[in-house]
């Protein structure tokens, strides 16, 4: 199976949550910071960096990896 490329042209700004824990009442994992649920999308890397610097947000850039696509045919399942 080969994954699609939908929504791969955007840059995301995600907030890390360093204060998550187990809710003592229900036993679920919960967070005290609602920013961990927020993902901001930008059309370019420069826009994302500019936003982070303007709002004094520490950031880390993770460059996308080049995909190696192997063309497959249905008949290859039976020929080899």
**In this predicted model, what pLDDT tens digit does every residue of 1-55 receive, in sequence order?**
556 677 678 888 888 766 777 777 888 877 777 777 788 999 999 999 999 999 9
Task: Show Cβ contacts of residue 76 under 8 Å, excluding neighbours closer than 6 positions.
Answer: none
Domain boundaries in the chain? Answer: 11-79
Is this structure's pTM higher than 0.85? Answer: no
Q: Is the pLDDT of residue 70 over 90?
A: no
Tokens 């005290």 sit on residue = 32
- Please tell me the total number of residues recorded for the chain in this structure: 80
Residue pair 14/52 in contact by the 8 Å Cβ criterion: no
pLDDT of residue 14: 85
pLDDT of residue 51: 93
- CA dist., res. 75 & res. 73, Å (int): 5
């Amino acid at each position: 199976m080969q994954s699609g490329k939908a929504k791969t042209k955007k840059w995301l700004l995600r907030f890390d949550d360093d204060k998550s824990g187990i809710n003592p009442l229900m036993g679920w994992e919960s967070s005290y910071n609602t920013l961990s649920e927020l993902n901001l999308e930008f059309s370019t890397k420069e826009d994302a960096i500019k936003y982070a610097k303007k709002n004094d947000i520490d950031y880390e850039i993770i460059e996308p990896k080049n995909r190696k696509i192997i063309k497959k045919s249905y008949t290859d399942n039976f020929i080899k």
